[in-house]
């Protein structure tokens, strides 16, 4: 989205001028400013949080906060880690698909490990 298409609404609240943006625009700007963080998933009907999605967010927050504390840009961390920038961005957004690939790799490795242990 370009600046020309960004159409905020201006309001005055308690004597202060504020800007109202669509949520998607705010999230995009916050991510560009490197202040955005992924939200925890919605709890299940029983009040518990879905484990896999929750762990993805917890890991993403750890990566994000550590990177920021160390003063690293996403590009610098991706280079240091030897991964693509897109991969780091997916991790920091708690993109479950990125973690799904890791889980699938673990399952393949575990199945291969069982075969080796069982003499196959």
Q: Given CA atoms 44, 21, 30, 84 in this order, what sign does their dihedral have?
A: positive
Q: Where are the domains of the chain?
A: 1-36, 49-120
Q: What is the mean pLDDT of residues 70-82?
A: 91
Host H or E run for residue 72: none
Least confident interval from 6-15, 30-39, 97-106: 97-106
For residue 39, give Cα distances in angstroms to 27, 54, 116: 11, 9, 41
Closest CA to 25 of 4, 54, 53, 43: 4
Residue 100's SS3 state is helix
Q: Where in the chain does DSSP place strands (E)?
A: 9-13, 16-20
Its pTM stands at: 0.62
Is the per-residue pLDDT at 113 higher than 90?
no
Q: What's the gap between Cα 90 and its chain centre?
A: 6
> Which pLDDT score, from 0 to 100, does residue 112 have?
78
Q: What is the mean pLDDT of residues 90-118?
A: 76
Task: Give residue 119's pLDDT band: very low, low, confident or very high (50, 70, 90).
Answer: low
Q: What's the gap between Cα 74 and its chain centre?
A: 12
Residue 28's SS3 state is helix
């Amino acid at each position: 989205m370009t600046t020309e298409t960004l159409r905020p609404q201006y309001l005055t609240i308690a004597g202060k001028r504020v800007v109202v943006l669509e949520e998607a625009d705010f999230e995009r700007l916050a991510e560009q400013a490197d202040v955005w963080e992924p939200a925890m998933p919605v709890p299940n009907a029983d009040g518990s949080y879905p484990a896999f999605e929750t762990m993805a967010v917890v890991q993403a927050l750890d990566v994000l906060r550590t990177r920021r504390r160390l003063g690293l840009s996403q590009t610098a961390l991706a280079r240091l880690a030897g991964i693509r920038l897109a991969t780091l961005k997916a991790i920091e957004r708690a993109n479950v698909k990125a973690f799904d690939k890791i889980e699938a790799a673990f399952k393949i490795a575990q199945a291969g490990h069982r075969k080796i242990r069982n003499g196959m």
